[in-house]
Amino acid sequence: MANYKSKLALKLIIFLTILVLLNALCFNNNPKFDLTEIKSYSLSPHTIKVLQELDQPVKILCFFRSGDVRLAKAKAYLNQFEVQSNLISSEFHDPDVESDLRGKYALQDYGMVFMAGSKTYEVQQVDEMHLTHGLLEVTRSRSEPAVPLLPEPLIELPLKEMPLNFFAIVAVFFITVLLIPFTFVTLSLLVWWQRR
């Protein structure tokens, strides 16, 4: 009986250790996959290169009303920017609530202010092209040649209408057909083994 209890305790400890390791792995890496064919939720290689080549901190102040539709887009882009470069920092403010900020930064309209060193640049449109251009404006020296703006993606479709690529289909198949049933079978066998 003591041998049975020690084996059961050992199996339980191993199972819990695996769960803790999987949990830690998932929370520490936090990978995000863009499963759309046109990669509309990923940064372009040009933007990633600009972010990785930053040599000075860039602070991005965002001024949007709480109900502004651009607020969510700005947060999504800036989160991706901060993942690519630890020199990017961002703050979000509502100029209607914090009215002194509007005068302090001489804002013409709601938008974003890029600051690096003594340079500032204001961006009104929230898309990858304009945000990357804002980064370049405040970080490049005046002697460097101007970098042309990259065109926007041809289409921005809502997520529900985007066709999934092969990787997405394989991932969904793996999770639903293999991983979930395997977990239930493993747990069922563990319970059966304990009652035996």
DSSP codes joined into one string, 99-123: HHHHHHTT-SSSEEEEEETTEEEEE
Residue 161 DSSP one-character state: G
In the chain, the amino acid numbered 131 is L
Place of tokens 């939720």: 41
Better-predicted residue by pLDDT, 155 or 182: 182
Report the pLDDT value the prediction gives residue 111, as an integer from 0 to 100.
Answer: 85
pLDDT at residue 113 is higher than 80: yes
Place of tokens 């990978």: 31
pLDDT at residue 70 is higher than 50: yes
Mean per-residue pLDDT over the chain, rounded: 77
> If pLDDT is split at 50, 70 and 90, which confidence band does 193 have?
confident
> If pLDDT is split at 50, 70 and 90, which confidence band does 40 have?
low
Distances in whole angstroms, Cα of residue 119 to Cα of each of 37, 49, 59, 136, 171: 38, 21, 11, 11, 45
Better-predicted residue by pLDDT, 39 or 11: 11
The per-residue pLDDT for range 114-151, each reduced to its tens digit, is 998 888 888 888 888 899 999 999 988 765 555 555 55
Angle (CA) 186 190 192, round 5°: 115
Domain ranges of the chain: 45-146, 163-196
Better-predicted residue by pLDDT, 157 or 141: 141
Considering only CA atoms, give the Rg of the chain: 25
Which residues, 6 or more positions from 26, have their beta carbon under 8 angstroms from its beta carbon?
Answer: none
d(CA 158, CA 72): 15
Mean pLDDT throughout 169-194? 76
> If pLDDT is split at 50, 70 and 90, which confidence band does 164 have?
low
Q: Which CATH superfamily is domain 45-146 in?
A: Glutaredoxin (3.40.30.10)
Categorise residue 106: left if φ over 0, alpha if ψ from -120 to 50, beta otherwise.
left
